Structure 1
Amino acid sequence: MQPIYNGVPAGQLPKVVWTKSSWSNPDGNCVEVATLPDGDIAVRNSRDPHGPALVYTPGEIEAFVRGAKTGEFDRLLG
């Protein structure tokens, strides 16, 4: 198996199950997430399923999700 790193082509990741948000728009454009065998989380663009994936630790994802839940990133929505 090739090493897993930020920017690795998502199609080269080991068999993982990608999950798309139910908030995805009608065209299906959204980000998708998958848990990797070592517990890290990969994120990819659903429009480019074989394109690059970003890889985060569970702690990084937890910090992001907590920030999103508390409205920390609402300013990005305009």
Structure 2
Amino acid sequence: MQRYENGVPASEIPGAVWHKSTLSNPNGNCVEVAQLPHGEIAMRNSRDPNGPALVYTPAEVTAFVQGAKQGDFDYLVS
């Protein structure tokens, strides 16, 4: 199984099943995520589905999600 590096075109990740939040706006402007075969999580911009994907470890995604739940990034949105 291949490992993927940050910036790989999302279209070059075969078999990726992309998911976005049910809170995504009607225009589809959202971050989409896909679990990769080695456990990493890929993220892409739904407006550019063939554009670059960022690849994170489960620990990195857990830290981000936990921080978001705690409000660490609330200053980014109005």
Query: Which interval holds the TM-score relative to the shorter structure?
Result: over 0.9
The TM-score with structure 2 as length reference comes to: 0.94
Percent of aligned positions that are identical = 67
Q: 2:14 and 2:61 mapped to 1: Cα distance? A: 20
Match of 1:28 in 2: 28
Deviation at 1:70, TM superposition (A): 0.5
Matching residue's letter, 1:41: I
Which segments of 5 or more consecutive residues in structure 1 lack a partner in the other structure? none
**Structure 1 ranges of 4+ moved more than 6 A:** none
3-state DSSP of counterpart to 2:53:
strand
Q: 1:3 and 1:17 mapped to 2: Cα distance? A: 16
Answer yes or no: is the 8 Å Cα contact 2:3–2:38 preserved in 1.
no
Match of 1:44 in 2: 44
3-state DSSP of counterpart to 2:60:
helix
Deviation at 1:2, TM superposition (A): 6.2
Match of 1:63 in 2: 63
Q: 1:21 and 1:2 mapped to 2: Cα distance? A: 27
Which segments of 5 or more consecutive residues in structure 2 lack a partner in the other structure? none
The TM-score with structure 1 as length reference comes to: 0.94
* RMSD between aligned residues: 1.3
